[in-house]
Amino acid sequence: MSNTELSGDIQRHEVEPVNAATRRKFYKAREPIYPKRVKGTFRNLKWVIMALTLGVYYLVPWIRWPRGPGEPDQAVLVDFAGRRFYFFFIEIWPDQLYFLTGLLIIAALALFLATALFGRVWCGYSCPQTVWTDLFIWVERKIEGDRNARIKLARAPWTFDKIRKRVTKHAIWIFIGMATGGAWMLYFHDAPTIARDFFIGEAPFTAYFFFALLTLTTYIFAGSMREQVCTYMCPWPRIQAALTDEETLQVTYKYDRGEPRGPHKKGDTWEGRGDCVSCKACVIACPMGIDIREGPQLECINCALCIDACDDIMKKVDRPTGLIGYDTDANIARRQAGEKPQTKLVRPRTILYGGVLALVCALMVIGLTSQATMVVNVLRDRTPPFILMSDGSIRNAYTVKIVNRENYEREMKITLEGPEGMTVGAVGEEAEGSTVTLDAPGDTVRSVRIFATLTPDEAYGNSIPVIIRVTDPETGEEVVNPTVFMAGRE
């Protein structure tokens, strides 16, 4: 296959010349990118990841997870009204927000590790911007055709056919944007309820607000801005350079094999030249509009579509595939030095990221599996610190708050351990000896006021250490709260 044939459609689609109005501007106008469809291993992998990620996003709020009476049965739910976050069997209360911090740290460390191993795999395959842009381009291609047809349509005058295609495309984009915004609000409310309320106009204002916001941002980011979001808005391209090294596997043009490049006619020798036939198939397939042969670039999201495009060309010109592929800078240097290339996944950097990641994961698992189902908070009255009763005895009051994190009612015993002679009472509850027994409803905070009294002879000192012990006799779970009894008798 001649290079003239290979590069034919590229030459027809060079960017439009900059017009006079653009020249007068400080910044160059955006040049629209019309990535050509490619077929191959990485394109297939991206289809699969797109289906999985979109499927997860749109369907997860509909998964039910029975938790018992009065509890939401939605598997994943951020319940602001109930001040709770549910994730399948995990239930996070407001005082456990450190678990969310732990999840964010795990996500960040996993991203660091993946980047150190395989470059910008997150950007290339699973970042929402990449996934939705890919989906929008797929829609565009279905309606307007592949690269050549789209460029032709863009340059064509406004005919009925052009208007029909553009209106259809934007309508489908807006529909996808609405589905995206609609799915977002399902994560914050019971999905079937909010979906019904939304359509009959009874959903809260925030649901409509975030629906509109997500619809708009999806439509603009994936439909219009596309590669500009990655290049100008996202900080990750700037950060990721610090996470990679010469052993990181990245989408790489193997210039040691490709150069010197140039057109090649069928039957010509391959002696004394590189394998790159300057067909630019890698360039026109690139959704970022860059030429990977110019080396590592901030714009490259490592989507690997140029690998598929180049492999296709290599097969056509009967050369080995992999002129563009996952490779490392170190391997290029090794090959140039006549050494064998190697893959070094275990390096100080990956050991560090992997080690810290494993540690944080282990801490999270321990924390989640050993978390208490009962939390007790004891507040002693400070104004006044004690009351002198008519019989001369001294009384202290305490507010005991019991958080029952089980979703069923439990009987709790509150025992006050202090000096001999101390008696205990409670508002609205029966006390027996030094113990108060009460019922703590499931999934709520139960608050009770208890009183400790000492006779004048027994009250001594200003501050007597006492213990308030809360026990669930059925499970044996117990929380011990040391506090004091103030007996500031003259």
Q: Of 127 and 309, which has the nearer Cβ to ligand SF4?
A: 309
For residues 246 and 160, the answer to whether their CB atoms sit within 8 Å is: no
Q: Of 139 and 324, which has the nearer Cβ to ligand SF4?
A: 324
Which segment (141-149, 156-164, 276-284, 464-472) binds ligand SF4 by CB under 6 A? 276-284
Phi, psi of 129 (to 5 degrees): -60, -40
Q: In the complex, what is the shortest distance from the CB of residue 157 to ligand SF4, in angstroms, rounded to a whole number?
A: 32
Measure Cα distances from 214 to 152, 210, 211, 370 in Å: 32, 6, 5, 38
Give Cβ neighbours of residue 117 (< 8 Å, ≥ 6 apart): 248, 249, 345, 350
Nearest CA among 66, 81, 84, 56 for reference residue 194: 81
Residue 279 interacting with ligand SF4 (CB under 6 A): yes
For residues 259 and 276, the answer to whether their CB atoms sit within 8 Å is: yes
What distance in Å separates the CA atoms of residue 185 and residue 208, rounded to the nearest whole number?
Answer: 8
Nearest CA among 330, 276, 282 for reference residue 303: 282
CA atoms within 13 A on the CB side of 462: 1
Given 75, 137, 194, 276, the residue binding ligand SF4 (CB under 6 A): 276
Residue 281 interacting with ligand SF4 (CB under 6 A): yes
Given 50, 203, 243, 300, the residue binding ligand SF4 (CB under 6 A): 300
Q: Of 280 and 349, which has the nearer Cβ to ligand SF4?
A: 280
Q: In the complex, what is the shortest distance from the CB of residue 134 to ligand SF4, in angstroms, rounded to a whole number?
A: 11
What distance in Å separates the CA atoms of residue 190 and residue 318, rounded to the nearest whole number?
Answer: 58
Which segment (128-136, 205-213, 283-291, 427-435) binds ligand SF4 by CB under 6 A? 283-291
331 in helix, strand or coil? helix
Which segment (9-17, 101-109, 281-289, 456-464) binds ligand SF4 by CB under 6 A? 281-289
Amino acid identity, residue 296? P
Q: In the complex, what is the shortest distance from the CB of residue 284 to ligand SF4, in angstroms, rounded to a whole number?
A: 9
Which segment (303-311, 357-365, 426-434, 459-467) binds ligand SF4 by CB under 6 A? 303-311
Nearest CA among 104, 125, 124 for reference residue 54: 125
Given 76, 139, 309, 412, the residue binding ligand SF4 (CB under 6 A): 309
Nearest CA among 290, 289, 297, 287 for reference residue 250: 297
What distance in Å separates the CA atoms of residue 215 and residue 220, rounded to the nearest whole number?
Answer: 9
426 forms beta bridges with: 429, 450
Question: Contact letters (x/-) for ligand SF4, 43-82, by CB under 6 A?
Answer: ----------------------------------------
Given 305, 376, 436, 459, the residue binding ligand SF4 (CB under 6 A): 305
Token readout for 256 is 């040691």
Give Cβ neighbours of residue 340 (< 8 Å, ≥ 6 apart): 334
What distance in Å separates the CA atoms of residue 142 and residue 349, rounded to the nearest whole number?
Answer: 44
Residue 240 interacting with ligand SF4 (CB under 6 A): no
Residue 313 interacting with ligand SF4 (CB under 6 A): yes
Which segment (81-89, 309-317, 370-378, 438-446) binds ligand SF4 by CB under 6 A? 309-317
Question: Contact letters (x/-) for ligand SF4, 317-336, by CB under 6 A?
Answer: ------xx------------
Nearest CA among 95, 93, 99, 57 for reference residue 76: 57
For residues 404 and 442, the answer to whether their CB atoms sit within 8 Å is: yes
Residue 481 interacting with ligand SF4 (CB under 6 A): no
Residue 250 interacting with ligand SF4 (CB under 6 A): no
H or E stretch at 161: helix 160-186
Given 189, 257, 280, 349, the residue binding ligand SF4 (CB under 6 A): 280
Token readout for 42 is 């990485």
Using DSSP bridges, classify how beta strands 374-380 and 394-404 pair: parallel, antiparallel or unpaired: antiparallel
Q: Of 99 and 221, which has the nearer Cβ to ligand SF4?
A: 221
Residue 292 interacting with ligand SF4 (CB under 6 A): yes
Which segment (273-281, 335-343, 418-426, 475-483) binds ligand SF4 by CB under 6 A? 273-281
Q: In the complex, what is the shortest distance from the CB of residue 118 to ligand SF4, in angstroms, rounded to a whole number?
A: 12
Rounded to the nearest 10 degrees, how much is the dihedral formed by the CA atoms of 216, 222, 226, 228? 30
Residue 189 interacting with ligand SF4 (CB under 6 A): no
Which segment (133-141, 150-158, 279-287, 422-430) binds ligand SF4 by CB under 6 A? 279-287
Given 77, 92, 121, 304, the residue binding ligand SF4 (CB under 6 A): 304
Q: In the complex, what is the shortest distance from the CB of residue 133 to ligand SF4, in angstroms, rounded to a whole number?
A: 11
CA atoms within 13 A on the CB side of 186: 22
Which segment (78-86, 274-282, 336-344, 393-401) binds ligand SF4 by CB under 6 A? 274-282
What are the percentages of helix, strand and coil residues in the chain, rounded to 5?
45, 20, 35
Given 76, 117, 277, 448, the residue binding ligand SF4 (CB under 6 A): 277
Binding site residues, ligand SF4, CB under 6 A: 251, 253, 258, 276-282, 285-286, 288, 290, 292-293, 300-306, 309-310, 313, 323-324
